[in-house]
Chain A
Amino acid sequence: DVKVTQSSRYLVKRTGEKVFLECVQDMDHENMFWYRQDPGLGLRLIYFSYDVKMKEKGDIPEGYSVSREKKERFSLILESASTNQTSMYLCASSLKGYGANVLTFGAGSRLTVL
Chain B
Amino acid sequence: QKEVEQNSGPLSVPEGAIASLNCTYSDRVSQSFFWYRQYSGKSPELIMSIYSNGDKEDGRFTAQLNKASQYVSLLIRDSQPSDSATYLCAVNSYGNNRLAFGKGNQVVVIP
Chain A residues within CB distance 8 Å of chain B? 31, 40-45, 48, 50, 56, 58-59, 90, 94, 96, 100-103, 105-108
- From the candidates B32, B42, B45, name the one contacting A101 in the complex (CB within 8 A): B32
User: Given the interface contacts A101-B90, A101-B92, A102-B49, does A42 sit within 8 Å of B98 by beta carbon?
Assistant: no
9 nearest A-B residue pairs (beta carbon): A42-B103, A105-B43, A43-B101, A101-B92, A100-B97, A101-B32, A108-B43, A105-B44, A42-B101
The answer to whether A103 touches B44 (Cβ under 8 A) is yes
The answer to whether B34 touches A101 (Cβ under 8 A) is yes
A96 to B103, CA, bound (A): 25
How many chain B residues touch the partner (CB < 8 A)?
A: 21
The answer to whether B99 touches A101 (Cβ under 8 A) is yes
A102 to B36, CA, bound (A): 10
User: Given the interface contacts A59-B1, A103-B99, does A42 sit within 8 Å of B43 by beta carbon?
Assistant: no
Question: In chain B, residues 1-51, which have Cβ atoms closer than 8 Å to a Cβ of chain A?
Answer: 1, 32, 34, 36, 42-46, 49
Count of chain A to chain B residue pairs whose CB atoms are closer than 8 Å in the complex = 47
Binary interface profile of B, 35-74, with partner A (CB < 8 Å = 1, else 0)?
A: 0100000111110010000000000000000000000000
- From the candidates B45, B92, B98, name the one contacting A48 in the complex (CB within 8 A): B98
Please name the residue on chain B nearest to A40 by beta carbon.
Answer: B103
A48 to B96, CA, bound (A): 12
A103 / chain B contacts, CB cutoff of 8 Å: 36, 44, 46, 99
A40 to B43, CA, bound (A): 16
B88 / chain A contacts, CB cutoff of 8 Å: 42-43
Beyond A44-B101, A45-B99, A90-B44, 17 additional contacts (C-beta under 8 Å) are A42-B101, A45-B98, A50-B97, A56-B97, A58-B98, A94-B97, A100-B92, A100-B96, A100-B97, A101-B92, A102-B34, A102-B49, A103-B44, A103-B46, A105-B43, A105-B44, A107-B42
Please indicate which of the listed interface residues A42, A59, A96, A108 has the most CB atoms of chain B within 10 Å of its own CB.
A42
